Every structure is written in structure tokens, then in C-alpha cells.
Amino acid sequence: MIDLSSTPMLAAAQLASATLGPVLAFAVPVALGGLGLAIALASWRLLRGPSLPDRVVALDLIGTIAVGAIAVYAILEDEPIYLIVSVVVALLMFIGTVAFAYYMQKGGGQK
């Protein structure tokens, strides 16, 4: 039988149940699991392509999911400073997306 007592999801659930209410104690590990699955699927698209814009959109999606994961972690730790970090990450992602759009508009990636 597999021992699940040392999994990160269970550790997050135990920490959440000790500090948060019962609803958040359930929602935080579920949200982290869903976000982890979403990052895995977006990483697959990032590696598979097939084109450069597909990969950039996948990278942007991974960054957006990371912002969500940081927000969930801020709830778990009850530290609002992590929300500021997530805003900075979102701003950097936006700048990167605008830079890529400018690059594509100027004919970048054309052979």
C-alpha cells in the first residue's frame, strides 16, 4: 500500500485545516492540485509547439497559472506580501507578451 502521509497535498491540507476554516482547508489543496495539473498540461504544449506563437501562449499561460498558485499560497500562509509578488509577476508577463507581439508585428519569425 502507498503511504500518502508524506505527500505535499496532504501536508498542505493539514496546514490549511490547522489555520483556516473547513472550506478553505478543502479548497486550497484542490486548487493547488488543479493548478499543478494545468501547469503540466501547459508545459506539454510549450515543449510540443508546433509554432512559436503556440509556445509563447503556453509560456504566458504558465505564468498566469503561477500567479494563481502564488495567490493560493498567500491564502495558505496568510501572508498578503505574496499578493504583491503575484502582481509583479503578472506585470512582467504583460511586458513580455507586449514585447513578443511587437516582435511578431515587425515580421519576426518569418523565413
Report the C-alpha gap between 59 and 45 in whole angstroms: 9
Q: What nine digits make up the cell of 96? A: 513580455
Q: Kindly report the average pLDDT of the chain as a whole number.
A: 85
> Would you say residue 3 lies in a domain?
no
Q: Are 92 and 60 in contact (CB under 8 A)?
A: no
Q: Is residue 42 part of a domain?
A: yes
* 2 within domain boundaries: no
Regions of the chain where pLDDT drops below 70: 1-19, 108-111
Within a 10 A sphere around the Cβ of 41, how many other Cβ atoms?
14
Amino acid at the residue 16: A
Domain that holds residue 85: 8-105
Cα–Cα distance for residue pair 32/75, rounded to 1 Å: 11
Has residue 60 been placed in a domain?
Answer: yes
Q: Is residue 14 part of a domain?
A: yes
- Residue 47: per-residue pLDDT: 94
- Asked if residue 21 is part of any domain, the answer here is yes
pLDDT at residue 12, as a whole number: 64
